[in-house]
Structure 1
Amino acid sequence: MKRFLFAILCLLLVCLIGCRNKSHTPEESGAHDLAQIKDSDELVVLTLYSSTSYFIYRGEAMGFQYELSEQFAKSLGVKLRIEVARNVPELIQKLLDGEGDIIAYNLPITKEWKDSLIYCGEEVITHQVIVQQSNGKTKPLKDVTELIGKDVYVKPGKYYNRLVNLDKELGGGIHIHEVTNDSITVEDLITQVAQGKIPYTVADNDLAKLNATYYPNLNTSLSISFDQRASWAVRKDCPQLAAAANKWHEENMTSPAYTASMKRYFEISKAMPHSPILSLREGKISHFDDLFKKYSKEIDWDWRMLASLAYTESNFDTTAVSWAGARGLMQLMPATARAMGMPPGKDQNPEESIKAAVKYIAATNRSLSMIPDKQERLKFILAAYNAGLGHVNDAMALAEKYGKNKFIWHDNVEDYILLKSNEEYFTDPVCKNGYFRGVETYNFVRDIISRYDNYKKKIKS
């Protein structure tokens, strides 16, 4: 009996030693660190849809965090795959569940997650700012004490809470208006400030800075909160990946690719300057009228509509390059231009640009053939030209879901392209393309139609 018990004890001891030995290396414990990522040839990045992180524009993936993720994956010599979460808690949970390798998003650095995550990459400082006009008529506020007696419109949550606390610190006097309408986003409030509809709102500094590239009359310099540190993150069992991200960010900060991405989203103006009709007396809209007349016949458009589209896209500048990389007179994205048969290096050629744009319009028209009314379909085509067909399809699906006519643009589908910047709507199961800054498309269609009506009054067909 004693021998039997001794044998059992020895067996248990061997098993215990074996189990301890197996836990020594990440490879043996099942951790998915840098070595495993390189073996799989794929980096799975977790992020959120937003104008500062990741979105689809004209059929192409974009966003500051997306571009940094691309650069990081390239530095590792692996492919990039993006997985999108609905919010920050889900983002962290997906990482901990092994559904991704790294979070590429400005994740707040907090004690709550220090035992589960390794914060890595570039550490950025975020804070809340007052968004106000800077148009020369009124001096922008430079100190928080100047908020006393002012009307500030904010969304519920951290912005509202910070203002309430600031109001207490100042002894009261800030007129705080909580905007509880779910269909109005922070970026909508920023737009309202730019348009002079409201005087002040509050946003995070990176979001405010990005929106200032759309509205040059905005001032975002007044901070109203303490600094919050934020960075990317990996699981605790991925120290090699964290070290690689740290090293890459340190070396990447001065690279041309990083600088170009920073400028694209936070510095380059996205507002297009516009000029008047070339010659009203001679009946000319632009130097390219003959080309508009020639190619508009292929899509059965009034040439003045095609001219209106070109004007809105490029201001008739054949050398124009947008913040997103769209080029030439008709501002086609490089991938679209290639798909439409534009010869390499011909993006500044006006005829090649118009010819490719007309092919793209014809293809879009076929994709939207379910819209019976031809004039109504034209508005959808314009919207798809600006946003990409995917976001227009999402807006149509939302319109149908909420009882609007998905084949009518004005006051129907256009209302839902606006709501594509709202988390409640872009995370709806009927939406397949995520976040989109719909206000640009909403205005784009209206501007082109309005300008076309003006051309019809002043320029003969």
Structure 2
Amino acid sequence: MAIKRPPKRLSPHRQAIKMLKRINRRHVKVAVAGTLAASTLALQPMQNALDMVRSSGELHLVGVSSPSTFFQQDGHTHGLQFELAQQFANELGVKLVVDSVTSPHRVLQSIRRNQAQLALTGITADDPRLERLRVSNPVIEVQQQLVQRNDQRMPKDISGLTGKVVGVVAGSTEAQHLKDSVREVENVKIIEIRQGKSLDLLGLLDEGRVDFVAMNSREFDAFRPLFPNLRDSMSLERTDAVSWVFMKSGDHSLYQAAQDFLVRKQADGTLQRLAEFYSNGNVFDSYGAKHFNRDIANRLPHYQSLFERESTATDVDWRLLAAIAYQESKWNPNAVSPTGVKGLMMLTQGTASMMGVKNREHAGQSIHGGSAYFKYIHDRMPESVAEPDRTWMALASYNMGPAHILRARKLTERNGGDANSWLDVSRNLRQLAQDNRRQGRSVPDVGQGLHYVQQVRRYYDAIALNTQVTLSKTQVASLDFDISNSTTQ
């Protein structure tokens, strides 16, 4: 029987060496694994700002709601810069998410804290507050101007403000420009309101509590329908650019994509067409605003309940239905056109029969028929057409006929445009008219159709503004301005 020998004992020195070798081998394995992991991460490209927006599926926009940015009606957002930003988001293949805040200060806070990727500040590109941010190419231009009452004499030049009181929103670009403009003029009192907005300023002017107010041309253009007794006054000889604003960092990817987009939209005329579409033109000059306010006060109350009833039935904003009727007949139930369309909604005999209207000159029947027909057209727009383009195309169809807009959408698609964008479709309507003329088809009156959509949009915004805003004397009186603390030049 073999005798087992006990294992040979290593000296303490050799045991220590053996243990160190095991530890070293383990460390080598860990180090190799760490190196491989680091190498793998290094091979994966880091996402830049543009890639992060695309991978998240959302572009976050922050801004102050205003006539030059965006505004909401009937649960939908529209406006010049909103539509432009929506096009940019569409190009990136992402959803545009809009965060409306109350002041430019909050807009700047959001963009600096990276809570949004795109900011609409409403302040002009040369404002010192934008120095540490990235400012895009100009999106729109605004004219700095004074506004006055109709019964005032217009000053010939800036010296005509001597002894006058001029109101302006505190912290606005206009406030700084006004102070610069009157620096050499004696005894000009500048009132800076801190708890109100442009609309409140116009209320102060309308009541005679200030002699002039300073604001940009687009702001006054939008609010003019409410103030038939106010008019444009002297220009402050300053045209400024309003731009998009981005956070300033070493990553230029999203900013550069926006720059390239704006250059293209400037070149193809999109910026100009949007600016024209969202302007009021001369519709609400002193004469137009006076007549509109008269009709709002004297005619609309007779029919508002009928519009509201049809709004409940069709789920279309009653103010849009009222705007269609105002464009059609100025709310005159006895209106008749040379072509035989009649009534408050100016229905053809065919449309009236289709909608079950027996008496086109009966206000209730006319409003019912016109509202039902607009709803019929609106609901038959393809699901891919989102608001507000859906409304604009439905209005064009209401005026020109759905078949023309359907063919214009197909033509837009063939020409490489966006068939879901009213701006793109409207550009192809003239070519459609030419093609129809050559082919012997019915030729749409393109000029009339484009004018119709724009006019209804103007009246819609004006009616909404008139019904949403109450110029309370208590509110105006409580505005935080103190003449004793105002700036006197």
TM-score (norm 1): 0.51
Partner of 1:441: 467
Answer whether contact 2:205 2:211 (CA < 8 A) is retained: yes
Tell me, in whole angstroms, the C-alpha distance in 2 between the residues paired with 1:81 and 1:124: 22
- Distance, in Å, in 2 between the alignment partners of 1:312 and 1:70 is 27
Cα deviation, residue 244, structure 1: 2.1
Aligned residues: 318
8 Å Cα contact 1:132-1:220 kept in structure 2:
yes
> Cα–Cα, structure 1 residues 154 and 71, in superposed 2: closer, same or farther, change >3 Å?
same
Specify whether residues 342 and 100 from structure 1 end up closer, same or farther in structure 2 by C-alpha distance, changes over 3 A only.
farther
- Structure 1 residues 218, 113: CA separation in 2 closer, same or farther (over 3 Å shift)? closer
What residue is the counterpart of 2:389 in the other structure? none
What is the CA–CA distance in structure 2 between the aligned matches of 1:169 and 1:92, rounded to whole Å? 33
Please give the per-residue CA displacement for 1:208-262, whole angstroms capped at 9, x wherever unaligned.
34334665751155117x6655421223354232222122212213656544431
Instruction: Give the counterpart of 1:145 among 125, 141, 159.
Output: 159
| Counterpart residue type for residue 151 of structure 1 | V
Establish whether residue 250 from structure 1 lines up as the match of residue 263 from structure 2.
yes
Quote the residue 2:58 is aligned against: 42
1:416-445 C-alpha deviation (Å, 9 max, x unpaired): xxxxxxxxxxxxxxxxxxxx9986116799
Cα distance, 1:175 vs. partner? 3.7
How do 1:182-331 and structure 2 match up within 5 A?
A: 182=195, 184-193=196-205, 198-212=210-224, 215=227, 217-223=230-236, 230-235=242-247, 236-253=249-266, 255=268, 258-268=271-281, 269=283, 273=291, 313=323, 317-318=327-328, 329=344
**Against the structure 1 CA distance between its residues 90 and 150, is the aligned structure 2 distance closer, same or farther, given a 3 Å change threshold?**
closer
Mapped contact 2:145–2:236 kept (Cα < 8 A): yes
> What is residue 71 of structure 2 aligned with on the other side?
55
Post-superposition shift, 1:206?
A: 3.4
Aligned: 1:354 with 2:383: no
Question: How far, CA to CA, are the matches of 1:220 and 1:110 in structure 2?
Answer: 24
Mapped to 1, the partners of 2:42 and 2:329 lie a distance apart of: 60
**Aligned counterpart, 1:376:** none
For the pair shown, the structure with the greater C-alpha radius of gyration is 2
Structure 2 letter corresponding to 1:203: M
Q: Which amino acid is the alignment partner of residue 440 of structure 1?
A: N
Identical counterparts, % of pairs = 17
The letter for the 2-side match of 1:441 is T
The alignment partner of 2:276 has SS state of helix
Q: Distance in 2 between matches of 1:23 and 1:38?
A: 22
Amino acid across the alignment from 2:328: T
- Mapping of 1:12-161 within 5 angstroms? 28=46, 30-31=47-48, 33-107=49-123, 108-109=125-126, 117-122=133-138, 124=140, 128-133=144-149, 135=150, 138-158=152-172
CA distance in 1, matches of 2:202, 2:134: 34
What TM-score do the two structures reach when normalised by structure 2?
Answer: 0.49
1:362-411 residue CA offsets vs partner (Å, 9 max, x unmatched)? xxxxxxxxxxxxxxxxxxxxxxxxxxxxxxxxxxxxxxxxxxxxxxxxxx
Match of 2:278, SS state, is helix
Shift of 1:146: 1.2
Are the aligned partners of 2:144 and 2:214 in contact in 1 as well (CA < 8 Å)? yes
User: Cα gap change, 1:20/1:139 in structure 2, threshold over 3 Å: closer, same or farther?
Assistant: farther
Q: Deviations over 1:57-80 (max 9, x none)?
A: 233212222121122223333332
CA distance in 2, matches of 1:24, 1:169: 64
User: Shift of the alpha carbon at 1:314?
Assistant: 6.0
Select the residue among 165, 173, 191 that pairs with 2:187. Answer: 173
Runs (5+) with no aligned partner, structure 1 = 278-284, 301-308, 322-327, 332-340, 344-348, 361-435, 447-461
| Deviation (angstroms), 1:55 | 1.9
For the Cα contact (< 8 Å) 1:38–1:76, is it kept in 2? yes
| Alpha-carbon distance in structure 1 between the residues aligned to 2:210 and 2:471 | 25
Q: Secondary structure at the residue paired with 1:266?
A: coil
- Find the counterpart in structure 2 of residue 304 from structure 1: none
Cα deviation, residue 119, structure 1: 2.1
Letter in 1 for 2:258: A
Per-residue displacement from partner, 1:18-53 (whole Å, max 9, x unpaired)?
A: 98997899x52x54x223333444322222222321
Q: CA RMSD in A?
A: 5.5
SS in 1 for 2:328: coil
